Protein backbone atom coordinates (compact mmCIF):
# COMPACT_ATOMS: atom_id res chain seq x y z
CA UNK A 1 0.00 0.00 0.00
CA UNK A 2 1.43 3.42 -0.98
CA UNK A 3 2.24 5.76 1.91
CA UNK A 4 0.93 9.30 2.10
CA UNK A 5 2.55 12.49 3.29
CA UNK A 6 0.85 15.32 5.20
CA UNK A 7 -0.77 16.63 2.02
CA UNK A 8 -2.45 13.30 1.46
CA UNK A 9 -0.75 12.74 -1.89
CA UNK A 10 0.70 9.28 -2.49
CA UNK A 11 4.48 9.45 -2.24
CA UNK A 12 5.04 6.71 -4.84
CA UNK A 13 2.69 8.41 -7.26
CA UNK A 14 4.32 11.80 -6.74
CA UNK A 15 7.82 10.39 -7.35
CA UNK A 16 6.64 8.62 -10.49
CA UNK A 17 5.11 11.83 -11.82
CA UNK A 18 8.31 13.70 -11.02
CA UNK A 19 10.42 11.17 -12.89
CA UNK A 20 8.13 11.33 -15.90
CA UNK A 21 8.26 15.14 -15.86
CA UNK A 22 12.06 15.06 -15.69
CA UNK A 23 12.28 12.58 -18.55
CA UNK A 24 9.91 14.69 -20.61
CA UNK A 25 11.98 17.81 -20.02
CA UNK A 26 15.18 15.99 -21.01
CA UNK A 27 13.57 14.68 -24.19
CA UNK A 28 12.23 18.12 -25.04
CA UNK A 29 15.64 19.70 -24.53
CA UNK A 30 17.30 17.04 -26.68
CA UNK A 31 14.83 17.51 -29.51
CA UNK A 32 14.95 21.26 -29.23
CA UNK A 33 18.71 21.75 -28.96
CA UNK A 34 20.45 18.86 -30.72
CA UNK A 35 20.54 19.10 -34.51
CA UNK A 36 20.03 15.48 -35.52
CA UNK A 37 19.63 16.01 -39.26
CA UNK A 38 22.88 16.40 -41.15
CA UNK A 39 23.91 16.51 -44.80
CA UNK A 40 27.50 16.08 -45.96
CA UNK A 41 29.42 16.46 -49.20
CA UNK A 42 32.30 14.28 -47.99
CA UNK A 43 35.65 14.77 -46.32
CA UNK A 44 36.97 16.73 -49.32
CA UNK A 45 34.22 19.25 -50.21
CA UNK A 46 35.63 20.25 -53.61
CA UNK A 47 36.78 18.81 -56.92
CA UNK A 48 39.02 19.98 -59.74
CA UNK A 49 37.74 18.79 -63.12
CA UNK A 50 38.56 19.39 -66.77
CA UNK A 51 36.42 21.54 -68.99
CA UNK A 52 33.95 19.33 -70.89
CA UNK A 53 34.01 16.43 -68.42
CA UNK A 54 31.23 15.01 -66.24
CA UNK A 55 31.48 15.31 -62.46
CA UNK A 56 29.73 13.77 -59.50
CA UNK A 57 28.63 16.31 -56.91
CA UNK A 58 28.10 14.21 -53.76
CA UNK A 59 25.74 14.64 -50.84
CA UNK A 60 24.45 12.24 -48.19
CA UNK A 61 22.02 12.73 -45.31
CA UNK A 62 21.76 11.28 -41.82
CA UNK A 63 19.24 11.54 -38.98
CA UNK A 64 19.43 10.15 -35.46
CA UNK A 65 15.66 9.56 -35.26
CA UNK A 66 14.87 8.68 -38.88
CA UNK A 67 13.20 10.62 -41.67
CA UNK A 68 9.60 11.33 -42.64
CA UNK A 69 8.82 13.21 -45.86
CA UNK A 70 12.38 14.47 -46.06
CA UNK A 71 12.71 17.40 -48.47
CA UNK A 72 16.00 18.10 -50.26
CA UNK A 73 17.23 20.41 -52.99
CA UNK A 74 20.29 21.40 -54.99
CA UNK A 75 21.18 25.00 -55.84
CA UNK A 76 24.07 26.65 -57.66
CA UNK A 77 25.43 29.89 -56.21
CA UNK A 78 25.73 32.13 -59.26
CA UNK A 79 27.49 35.18 -57.79
CA UNK A 80 25.06 35.44 -54.90
CA UNK A 81 21.97 34.33 -56.82
CA UNK A 82 20.79 30.79 -56.07
CA UNK A 83 19.90 28.86 -59.21
CA UNK A 84 17.79 25.77 -58.52
CA UNK A 85 19.08 22.56 -60.10
CA UNK A 86 16.91 19.81 -58.60
CA UNK A 87 14.63 19.04 -55.67
CA UNK A 88 12.84 16.04 -54.27
CA UNK A 89 11.35 14.26 -51.29
CA UNK A 90 11.69 10.92 -49.52
CA UNK A 91 8.67 9.51 -47.69
CA UNK A 92 10.63 7.19 -45.37
CA UNK A 93 13.77 5.03 -45.13
CA UNK A 94 12.30 2.33 -47.41
CA UNK A 95 11.04 4.58 -50.20
CA UNK A 96 13.15 5.82 -53.10
CA UNK A 97 13.30 9.59 -53.72
CA UNK A 98 10.82 11.38 -55.95
CA UNK A 99 12.90 13.98 -57.79
CA UNK A 100 12.31 16.90 -60.12
CA UNK A 101 15.38 17.95 -62.12
CA UNK A 102 15.34 21.51 -63.47
CA UNK A 103 18.83 21.92 -64.98
CA UNK A 104 19.22 20.31 -68.46
CA UNK A 105 22.70 18.92 -67.71
CA UNK A 106 21.92 17.50 -64.27
CA UNK A 107 21.01 13.90 -63.45
CA UNK A 108 19.96 12.65 -60.02
CA UNK A 109 21.91 9.53 -58.99
CA UNK A 110 20.95 9.16 -55.33
CA UNK A 111 19.22 6.29 -53.56
CA UNK A 112 17.62 5.76 -50.18
CA UNK A 113 19.60 2.55 -49.68
CA UNK A 114 22.75 4.58 -48.99
CA UNK A 115 21.15 7.86 -47.83
CA UNK A 116 22.47 9.36 -51.05
CA UNK A 117 21.08 12.46 -52.77
CA UNK A 118 24.01 13.14 -55.14
CA UNK A 119 23.78 14.59 -58.65
CA UNK A 120 25.79 14.36 -61.89
CA UNK A 121 26.67 17.46 -63.88
CA UNK A 122 27.36 16.75 -67.55
CA UNK A 123 29.71 18.54 -69.97
CA UNK A 124 30.88 21.16 -67.50
CA UNK A 125 32.12 24.57 -68.61
CA UNK A 126 33.94 27.39 -66.88
CA UNK A 127 30.56 28.95 -66.19
CA UNK A 128 29.74 25.98 -63.95
CA UNK A 129 32.60 26.76 -61.60
CA UNK A 130 31.53 27.70 -58.08
CA UNK A 131 29.52 26.49 -55.08
CA UNK A 132 26.83 23.81 -55.18
CA UNK A 133 24.52 23.78 -52.17
CA UNK A 134 22.88 20.61 -50.85
CA UNK A 135 19.91 21.34 -48.55
CA UNK A 136 17.64 19.00 -46.61
CA UNK A 137 14.73 19.43 -44.16
CA UNK A 138 13.16 16.73 -42.02
CA UNK A 139 9.57 17.37 -40.78
CA UNK A 140 9.98 14.46 -38.33
CA UNK A 141 12.49 16.62 -36.44
CA UNK A 142 10.15 19.63 -36.29
CA UNK A 143 11.46 20.95 -39.59
CA UNK A 144 15.14 20.69 -38.74
CA UNK A 145 17.29 21.52 -41.77
CA UNK A 146 20.94 21.40 -42.70
CA UNK A 147 23.10 22.63 -45.58
CA UNK A 148 26.40 21.47 -47.08
CA UNK A 149 28.45 23.16 -49.81
CA UNK A 150 30.52 21.50 -52.54
CA UNK A 151 32.92 23.58 -54.68
CA UNK A 152 33.62 22.82 -58.35
CA UNK A 153 36.85 24.07 -59.94
CA UNK A 154 37.04 23.86 -63.74
CA UNK A 155 40.44 23.83 -65.49
CA UNK A 156 41.84 23.39 -69.00
CA UNK A 157 44.04 20.52 -67.91
CA UNK A 158 44.68 18.75 -64.66
CA UNK A 159 47.84 19.77 -62.86
CA UNK A 160 50.59 17.20 -62.56
CA UNK A 161 51.46 16.39 -58.99
CA UNK A 162 55.14 17.01 -58.28
CA UNK A 163 56.44 13.76 -56.84
CA UNK A 164 60.08 14.86 -56.62
CA UNK A 165 60.03 15.32 -52.85
CA UNK A 166 58.19 12.03 -52.38
CA UNK A 167 60.74 10.24 -54.58
CA UNK A 168 63.62 11.72 -52.61
CA UNK A 169 62.09 10.72 -49.29
CA UNK A 170 61.38 7.18 -50.51
CA UNK A 171 64.92 6.87 -51.90
CA UNK A 172 66.50 8.10 -48.65
CA UNK A 173 64.36 5.81 -46.50
CA UNK A 174 65.04 2.88 -48.82
CA UNK A 175 68.79 3.59 -48.73
CA UNK A 176 68.82 3.75 -44.94
CA UNK A 177 66.90 0.48 -44.64
CA UNK A 178 69.20 -1.18 -47.19
CA UNK A 179 72.29 0.03 -45.30
CA UNK A 180 70.95 -1.29 -42.00
CA UNK A 181 70.24 -4.69 -43.57
CA UNK A 182 73.71 -4.80 -45.15
CA UNK A 183 75.38 -3.92 -41.82
CA UNK A 184 73.38 -6.63 -40.05
CA UNK A 185 74.40 -9.22 -42.67
CA UNK A 186 78.09 -8.26 -42.44
CA UNK A 187 77.92 -8.35 -38.64
CA UNK A 188 76.36 -11.81 -38.74
CA UNK A 189 79.08 -13.08 -41.11
CA UNK A 190 81.87 -11.63 -38.98
CA UNK A 191 80.42 -13.15 -35.81
CA UNK A 192 80.02 -16.50 -37.56
CA UNK A 193 83.62 -16.35 -38.82
CA UNK A 194 85.00 -15.44 -35.39
CA UNK A 195 82.99 -18.17 -33.68
CA UNK A 196 84.31 -20.66 -36.23
CA UNK A 197 87.89 -19.70 -35.50
CA UNK A 198 87.29 -19.95 -31.75
CA UNK A 199 85.83 -23.43 -32.19
CA UNK A 200 88.88 -24.53 -34.20
CA UNK A 201 91.22 -23.18 -31.52
CA UNK A 202 89.24 -24.95 -28.82
CA UNK A 203 89.46 -28.21 -30.75
CA UNK A 204 93.21 -27.82 -31.20
CA UNK A 205 93.63 -27.11 -27.49
CA UNK A 206 91.57 -30.15 -26.56
CA UNK A 207 93.55 -32.42 -28.92
CA UNK A 208 96.93 -31.21 -27.69
CA UNK A 209 95.84 -31.44 -24.09
CA UNK A 210 94.59 -34.99 -24.64
CA UNK A 211 97.87 -36.01 -26.24
CA UNK A 212 99.87 -34.66 -23.31
CA UNK A 213 97.71 -36.45 -20.80
CA UNK A 214 97.97 -39.72 -22.72
CA UNK A 215 101.73 -39.60 -22.93
CA UNK A 216 102.09 -38.75 -19.28
CA UNK A 217 99.67 -41.46 -18.29
CA UNK A 218 101.37 -44.19 -20.36
CA UNK A 219 104.84 -43.42 -19.10
CA UNK A 220 103.58 -43.31 -15.57
CA UNK A 221 101.80 -46.62 -16.03
CA UNK A 222 104.88 -48.27 -17.44
CA UNK A 223 106.92 -46.99 -14.55
CA UNK A 224 104.37 -48.28 -12.06
CA UNK A 225 104.21 -51.73 -13.66
CA UNK A 226 107.96 -52.38 -13.40
CA UNK A 227 108.63 -55.00 -10.78
CA UNK A 228 110.91 -54.56 -7.85
CA UNK A 229 114.38 -55.84 -8.73
CA UNK A 230 115.36 -59.03 -7.00
CA UNK A 231 118.19 -58.90 -4.52
pLDDT tens column, 156-174: 987 665 566 666 777 777 7
Are residues 173 and 165 in contact, defined by beta-carbon separation less than 8 angstroms? no
- DSSP-derived secondary structure letter, 226: S
Give, in order, the Cα–Cα distances in Å from 226 to each of 71, 74, 222, 223, 229: 123, 122, 7, 6, 9
Cα 167 to the center of its chain, rounded Å: 25
91/171 Cα distance (integer angstroms): 56
56/60 Cα distance (integer angstroms): 13
> SS3 string of 65-77?
CCCCCEEEEEEEE
Say what the pTM is.
0.57
Mean pLDDT score of the chain: 79
Q: Does the structure show a pLDDT above 70 at 93?
A: yes
Say what the pLDDT of residue 213 is: 54
Say what the pLDDT of residue 67 is: 95
Burial 133-163 (b: 16+ CB within 10 A, else e): bbbbbbebbeebebebbbbbebeeeeeeeee
pLDDT tens column, 102-117: 999 999 999 999 999 9
pLDDT tens column, 147-158: 999 999 999 987
- CA-based angle 7:11:13, to the nearest 5? 110
Q: By percentage, how much of the chain surpasses pLDDT 70? A: 65
At 21, the pLDDT band (50, 70, 90 cuts) reads very low
Say what the pLDDT of residue 171 is: 75
Cα distance from N-terminal residue to C-terminal residue, the chain: 132
pLDDT tens column, 184-231: 888 888 887 777 766 766 666 666 666 555 555 544 444 455 555 554
Say what the pLDDT of residue 154 is: 96
Say what the pLDDT of residue 130 is: 97
Full DSSP string of 124-174: --GGG-EEEEEEEEEGGGTTEEEEEEEEEEEESSPPPP--HHHHHHHHHHH
Say what the pLDDT of residue 221 is: 45
89/104 Cα distance (integer angstroms): 20
Q: Does the structure show a pLDDT above 60 at 7?
A: no
Residue range 8-30: mean pLDDT, rounded:
43
Nearest CA among 133, 130, 138, 137 for reference residue 148: 133
Say what the pLDDT of residue 184 is: 85
17/78 Cα distance (integer angstroms): 56
Give, in order, the Cα–Cα distances in Å from 74 to each of 91, 100, 135, 187: 18, 11, 6, 67
- Count helices and strands in the chain by DSSP H and E runs: 2, 11
Cα 44 to the center of its chain, rounded Å: 14
Q: Does the structure show a pLDDT above 80 at 132?
A: yes
Amino acid sequence: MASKDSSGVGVCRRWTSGHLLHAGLVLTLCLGVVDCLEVSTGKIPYIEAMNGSTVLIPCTYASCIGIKNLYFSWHYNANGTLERLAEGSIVDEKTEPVVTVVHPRVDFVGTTKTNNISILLWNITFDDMGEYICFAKNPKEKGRNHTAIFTLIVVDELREIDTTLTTIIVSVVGGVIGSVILIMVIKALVIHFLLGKDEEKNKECLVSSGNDNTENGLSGAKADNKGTPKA
